Amino acid sequence: MNLGALWKRQEARFLILFLLILGVSFTLVALQPVNDHLVVPYTTGVAWVSGQLLDLLGEDITINGCVLRSPRFAVTIYNGCNGLITSLIFISGVLAFPSSWTAKVVGVVGGLLAIQTINLIRIISLFYIGIFLPDLFNSSHIFIWQSIVILFGVSLWVLWAQKLARPAPASRSETED
């Protein structure tokens, strides 16, 4: 099968576009200027929102950049903990999928809100795990919550693709290969 025939197949086009968008987005966020001017302020914003929610829950919280500190526990939110990686994977899948631009916009906006909501729940729960079950903090952080957030992002994309994205039907040339 030549490259032109491969590109005509929706599945191959999706996979190629997904990997391309993902590769470009991961490369961009790895660049120091992008990290300094976008990722760090984004992460600081996630820390600020998390701190405000913990304050509403009655915690005596001090927010200093990406650090949430109370008399009982402190946690630092790093780049890998800000929901950005899951968001980039989700956005890459939405943008690469054959659907209308309206469905893509709804998917990206709704997906980002949902992923950040689950990530805020993750941060707050990890804060309390650090207070009440400190021996479980690392395994909860690395194995349990990272898995949950990634599975949530993938499940959210599947739900979006099935319920909202309605891909265009395959043309005859795509089904004949």
For the entire predicted model, the pTM comes to: 0.87
For residue 143, CA distances in Å to 68, 140, 147 come to 22, 6, 6
Residue 121 lies in a domain: yes
Q: Is the pLDDT of residue 167 over 90?
A: no
Backbone angles phi and psi of 72, in degrees to 5: -100, -25
Please give the DSSP secondary-structure letter assigned to residue 164: T
Residue with tokens 């829950």: 57
Residue 22 lies in a domain: yes
Q: In this structure, what token pair is assigned to residue 44?
A: 């600081």
Residue 173 lies in a domain: no
Residue 157 lies in a domain: yes
Residue 73 lies in a domain: yes
Backbone angles phi and psi of 54, in degrees to 5: -65, -35
Specify the number of domains making up the chain.
1
CA 47 to chain centre: 16
pLDDT in tens, 28-82: 999 999 999 999 999 999 999 999 999 999 999 999 999 999 999 999 999 889 9
Q: Do 76 and 66 meet the contact criterion of CB atoms below 8 Å apart?
A: yes
- For Cα atoms 19, 24, 26, give the angle at the middle one, nearest 5 degrees: 90
Domain that holds residue 54: 10-167
